[in-house]
Amino acid sequence: MSNDRGTRAKVAVIGGSGLYALFDDKDSTAFTVATPFGDVELTRGTICGTEAVFVPRHGADHCVPPHLIRARAVIWAFASTGVRVLISTAAVGSLNPDLPVGTIAVADQLVDRTHGRADSYFDASTVRHLPFADPFDSHARRLALEACPELVDGATVLVIQGPRFSTRAESRINRSAGIDLVNMTLYPEAALAAELGIDMVALCVVTDVDSGEQAEEAVTAEMVFARLAEARQHLVSAIERIASSVPLDYAPRELIDGAAVAEVLRMEAQ
């Protein structure tokens, strides 16, 4: 494994639960990026001819729980390699009957109910207030939907702390509030990517109906992993088509001024 700060890639992929590798071993290279928030191990490869880097969100053996993911380190590592589009996959529970099990939705909104997670790069320097009305860039979302017309356009994702699943009472409240999907990891990823000028596409794989109304519907980890395995081929196909559709001159939105972003990326690694 090399320590390679010189690697450049325009697309990054975060593999959620069930997606722990993306490239063929013979066609990929593992390397380490030293960041101000700890070392990050990335894998470099190509997706349909597009240079990309990949990291499994929970580790290769699913050993990192949602509330302990070092999101600042991962997103900083991506930005330091020149990533402009992040494709992030996530297992989600559905509260919307129009989004049944097996659906892959491209999220357009989120609600954050996490706590204690480091969610900004500007907590020890000049304050920057992130415009976050639209957490997922519309340009990147359009690219994804044009490349994969079978995906569902738009969904509001509630991000809970985890690692526990919701109670039935919480599910009823969230459903009545107009929440479509429930997840444990898309925040603070989305905010951190937006701060550093990376447009994020959130591919939400519906694995369950959250806590459900009936006892037999209650979500379990085993249920989630089994349904993710069933969806893996479709999910990888979507990732490939989206990555290959990102043009060479893709320009992400700039929500934080470039000088401030450059200052963050000049921070010394640990």
In angstroms, the CA 56 to CA 168 distance is: 30
Check if the beta carbon of residue 136 is closer than 8 Å to that of residue 156: no
Active-site annotation holder among 119, 137, 210, 257: 210
Tokens 């357009």, residue? Answer: 108
Q: What distance in Å separates the CA atoms of residue 153 and residue 107, rounded to the nearest whole number? A: 7
Go through the chain and tell me how many residues it has: 270
End-to-end CA distance of the chain: 19
Q: Which residue has the tokens 């702390």?
A: 161
Q: Is 208 a catalytic residue?
A: yes
> Cα separation of 59 and 16, whole Å?
9
Which residue is catalytic, options 108, 112, 137, 208? 208
Distances (CA, A) of 128 to 120, 193, 250: 9, 14, 25
3-class DSSP state for residue 158? strand
Active site residues: 208, 210
